Amino acid sequence: NQGISPPASEIKGRIEFKNVSFKYPNGKKVLHNINLVIEAGQKAAFVGESGW
């Protein structure tokens, strides 16, 4: 079964970000104190500029 994902109904747990901040080495801030919860079976995408 290598390379085959289980059905979303079988996935347990969640991903949680609390007070996440990020800035590029040049000082450009792109995230400031972000809170986000992604529950099992949910989909999320992060979209924006790449690089700095």
Of 43, 35, 41, nearest to 16 (Cα)?
35
Looking at the predicted structure, is the pLDDT value of residue 12 above 70? yes
Is pLDDT larger for residue 52 or for residue 17?
A: 17
Higher pLDDT, residue 18 or 49: 18
Q: 25 or 50: whose pLDDT is higher?
A: 25
SS3 (DSSP) at 39: strand
pLDDT computed for residue 30 by the predictor: 87
- What is the domain partition of the chain in residue ranges? 8-39
Nearest-CA neighbor of 41 among 2, 17, 5? 5
Separation CA 31–CA 18 (nearest Å): 12
Percent of the chain having pLDDT more than 70?
87
Residue 6 in tokens: 């289980």
| Entry pTM | 0.60
Question: Taking 80 as the threshold, does the pLDDT of residue 3 lie above it?
Answer: no
